[in-house]
Amino acid sequence: MKSILIKGGHLIDPPSRTDRPRDLLIHDNKIVELGDPGKLNATAKKEGAEVIDATGLVVAPGLVDIHVHLREPGQGHKETIESGTKAGAMGGFTALCCMPNTSPVNDSPEITRWMLSPERNAVIRVFPVAAATRGSMGEAITEYGSLKAAGAVGVSDDGKPVLQDAIMHQALIAAARAGVPMIQHAENTKITVGASMNAGARAFRLGLRGMSVEAESGIVERDIRLVRELTTSGKGPRPHLHVQHVSTAKAMEAIRHAKRAGLHVTCEVAPHHFMLTDEAVEGYNTHAKMNPPLRGEADRAAMVTALLDGTADCIATDHAPHAVHEKEQEFEKAPNGITGLETSLSLSIKMLHHQHRMPLLRLIHLMSTAPAHIMGLRGRGTLAPEAFADVVLFDPKSTWTFNARNSPSKSRNTPFDGHTLPGVVKMTISEGRIVYRS
Amino acid sequence: MPKKATAQAPQPKATTPSADGIHPGSLLSITQLSLEEVSNILALAERLAGEPQSKHATLLENRKLALLFYESSTRTRTSFELAAKSLGAMTTLVSDKSSSIEKGESLKDTGLTLRALGAECIILRHNASGSPYLLAKHTGLPVLNAGDGMHEHPSQALLDLRTILSRLGKKQAATDTTLDGITVCITGDILHSRVARSNALLLPRLGAKVILCGPQQLLPPEAVDLSTGITLERDFDKALQQSQVAMMLRIQKERLAGMQIDLADYQKQYQLNEDRYFKHAPTAVVMHPGPMIRGLEITADIADGPSSAIEEQVRNGLAIRMALLVRALNGGAA
Ligand SMILES: [Zn+2]
């Protein structure tokens, strides 16, 4: 039994709307008490607590990323659960939901349990998302109940979205029964064959096939229609659709309408989609190749607006590590995705807090409380007593220069390498253990 | 490098590569050239084409050039090869046809191997758009783009420009008014054409109007954004009526799979034949980057007729490529 007193910090806890100097006492793996500055000193002393001076720092619930790729099993050269969770800790994260496009695909309780076993050496908590269909082939849905019992917190076929209406319908019902979200990467892959960037003038000039906005919005609209049908039928539990990394204004507008109509639809936005446009592809920069692709300026701005007005529920990185040689290929051949755990907080502070005056309380909500809530991660995303002692301490005022080589991630495929960014993570505490200290 | 060659041969200048590591002697996209550089290349091509071969036969003596061809191309390959040889350079051809490209080896590694073997410049033809950027970045060598995917074919745009200038009786130089009052129509499969892109990106900068012409599926609306000075026209007759130059593109039948293109209908609407030519643009210069499919996009009588500059394009290709090779090995100066 070990106690930690975090004193002198500015505490931000979205669920209780706390945004002021408070000290925090941790005992073992739980949060015990919050108190005015100095109030907890006596208790801490009695318990022999380790004292952490958080003067000048924000103390917030550990960040939660509900969309990452940890590449294990099968692609340990890109990332392992150990290296990926270390990168997460460096970025201030204490919980990661990892996608099932591993090798083999995580479509069984055995693989889910394998990911969760202590031998993986995760330094922060991992919550697997299991495949929605067997092998993510989109043909037959998996056993959601037993996957959940094994530890899965959601179902998704990630990069291979469920296209067939009937299968998606079944998946929504089964996920609702199991009490997990059905998570969809919205892309009509039938019309994006061979496409490697956003459709439009730039793709035309670069001679690259483009993905249209409609390839994304069409699936979102279809999924919302299915959710509406199931919801209004009144039969069975209410389905929860979570849309991954929305990148287009058109899809976001469909989600906005669905929310107004009272449907249980949530969505996430990735930092690269609110930071960058397809201009970054110039020179055939494979570190700007991702799926969904970087879009035009209007779409980028729409992602910011959606985060500001609450249409976008949370920020998720889609951390997608790839080895150097895999990205050093012809643009169309290179794999999609960039790493994101190390820079997510800083990019969010830069764009949302600095440029758009979003209060940090709201930003922490988007990066911790809301994602924990979407995935049903109890006792996370909050600093309330009895919650897990998942805490991040960061300095929102100072800046740092991100050097991808220094990241514990096995990969360094990021367009933000070398960027100087605001917001320095000073310490990450996962269930009472200090897992990162800068 | 032996001493005797140094009197004449351009020496690699101590060049500072640009921030992205790309050698200044590279030509990856026509957009990277300033009009001054275009003029320099045209002037050098003019000089090389005008002097007896003996005068420049040792200009690139003992220099090593690699032709890396992932796609077959008789015309472009031979043109670069003959250009190099007529300047005295040593060339080696690495092609997928001769299976000398190691199976599964990455483009980067192939480039590094060629560099290690002494190649001082790589001429690359590849089916992936942007591949010359990858090669240039990782080898640091001058890379000449000899056609990449659906992207660009910059040496073709330069030889086309040389041809247009000589056919219109203009001097071989490029300013922003050189082609004032001239309209060039480029007709056919613009979507897949790297020749169309490079030309549409270059000619308007010299003051030309460029009309892109073709059916919707081969000419999407976003093509108009390639550059200022571009208009789209679906009606070939109307396009011709305004043009002094008619540049026809090859219909790449292999690219049409899955598209709703009726070849007979295409022929009816977009083929350049005598009837259409004499009715709408009887004095226009006729161009085609080849290889032609006679009877499809163009008829033989037009292709071989007096208005055709097609053979001249091929000849100009040699001169332009000589100039580009000299520039590449001269650290970017032509
Ligand atoms: Zn993903």
**pLDDT (tens digit per residue) in B160-175:** 999 999 999 999 999 9
- Do the strands A391-401 and B64-69 form a parallel or antiparallel pair, or are they unpaired? unpaired
Token pair recorded at residue A178: 């199991």
When CB atoms are compared, the residue of A205, A284, A328 closest to B226 is A205
Using the Cβ of A201 and the Cβ atoms of chain B, whether some distance falls under 8 Å is answered with yes
- Single out the catalytic residue among A13, A23, A223, A318: A318
Is 70 exceeded by the pLDDT of residue B312? yes
Chain A residues with CB under 8 Å of B255 CB are none
Band (B100; pLDDT cuts 50, 70, 90): low
Structural element, H or E, at residue A370 = helix A370-374
When CB atoms are compared, the residue of A199, A208, A328 closest to B129 is A208
CB-based burial label for B78 (10 Å; 0-12, 13-18, 19+): middle
Which CA distances in Å does A190 have to A193, A194, A210?
A: 6, 10, 13
CB contact under 8 A, B128 and A330: yes
Res A1: pLDDT: 58
Dihedral angle of Cα B301, B303, B304, B307, to the nearest 10 degrees: 100
**Cα–Cα distance measured from residue A55 to residue A392, given in angstroms and rounded to the nearest whole number:** 14
Chain B interface residues (partner A, CB cutoff 8 A): 20, 106-108, 126, 128-131, 133-134, 138, 148-152, 191, 194, 197, 201, 220, 222-223, 225-226
Res B261: pLDDT: 82
How close is the Cα of A66 to the center of ligand 1, in Å? Answer: 10
Summary mean pLDDT of chain A: 97
> If one looks up domain A63-377 in CATH, what number appears?
3.20.20.140
Q: Which residues of A are annotated as a binding site for substrate?
A: 69-71, 101, 291, 322
Above pLDDT 70, what percent of chain A?
Answer: 100
Report the residue count for chain A.
Answer: 438
Helix (H, G, I), strand (E, B) or coil at A21: strand
Res A387: pLDDT: 98
CB contact under 8 A, A328 and B108: yes
CB contact under 8 A, B152 and A207: yes
When CB atoms are compared, the residue of B128, B133, B226 closest to A283 is B133
To the query of whether residue A318 is one of the catalytic residues in this protein, the response is: yes
Token pair recorded at residue B161: 């420009």
CB contact under 8 A, A325 and B133: no
On whether ipTM exceeds 0.95, the answer is: no
Per-residue pLDDT reduced to its tens digit, A188-226: 999 999 999 999 999 999 999 999 999 999 999 999 999
Chain A residues with CB under 8 Å of B223 CB are 204
Looking at beta carbons, which pairs linking A36-45 to residues 24 or more positions away fall under 8 Å? A37/A7, A37/A8, A38/A7, A40/A5, A40/A7, A41/A5, A41/A7, A44/A3, A44/A5
Angstroms from A203 CA to nearest CA on chain B: 9
Q: Region B212-219: what's the mean pLDDT?
A: 96
Chain A residues with CB under 8 Å of B153 CB are none
Is 60 exceeded by the pLDDT of residue A141? yes
Which CA distances in Å does A250 have to A197, A221, A247, A298, A362?
A: 17, 10, 9, 10, 24
Is 60 exceeded by the pLDDT of residue B12? no
**Cα–Cα distance measured from residue B334 to residue B332, given in angstroms and rounded to the nearest whole number:** 6
Token pair recorded at residue B124: 């690359």
Per-residue pLDDT reduced to its tens digit, B266-299: 999 999 999 999 999 999 999 999 999 999 999 9
Which residues have C-beta within 8 Å of that of residue A357, sequence separation ≥ 6?
none
Chain B residues with CB under 8 Å of A211 CB are none
Chain A residues with CB under 8 Å of B201 CB are 205
CB contact under 8 A, A207 and B223: no
Res B18: pLDDT: 59
Give the residue on B whose Cα is nearest the Cα of A210.
Answer: B222
Number of C-alpha atoms within 13 angstroms, CB side, residue A167? Answer: 17
Q: Where are the domains of chain A?
A: 63-377
Cis peptide before A292 (omega within 30 of 0): yes
With vertex at residue B127, the alpha carbon angle to CA B123 and CA B129, rounded to the nearest 5 degrees, is 85
Per-residue pLDDT reduced to its tens digit, B66-93: 999 999 899 999 999 999 999 999 999 9
CB contact under 8 A, B138 and A330: no
CB contact under 8 A, B151 and A207: yes
Using the Cβ of A190 and the Cβ atoms of chain B, whether some distance falls under 8 Å is answered with no
Query: Which one has a higher pLDDT value, A233 or B8?
Result: A233
Is 60 exceeded by the pLDDT of residue B1? no
Tell the residue number behind the tokens 């990019």, with chain if given.
A347
Dihedral angle of Cα A317, A322, A324, A328, to the nearest 10 degrees: -90
Q: Which residues of A are annotated as a binding site?
A: 67, 69-71, 101, 158, 185, 245, 291, 318, 322
Band (B4; pLDDT cuts 50, 70, 90): very low
**Cα–Cα distance measured from residue A37 to residue A56, given in angstroms and rounded to the nearest whole number:** 13
* Lowest mean per-residue pLDDT among A117-121, A167-171, B98-102: B98-102
Q: What backbone torsions phi and psi does residue B145 show, to the nearest 5 degrees? A: -80, 110
Cis peptide before A109 (omega within 30 of 0): no
Task: Give me the DSSP letters along A275-310.
Answer: H--GGGGTTT-GGG--SSPP--HHHHHHHHHHHHHT
Q: Give Dmax (Cα) for chain A.
A: 69
For A23-58, give one letter per residue: b (16+ CB within 10 A) or e. Answer: bbbbbebebbbbbeeeebbebbeebebeebebeebb
Res B6: pLDDT: 39
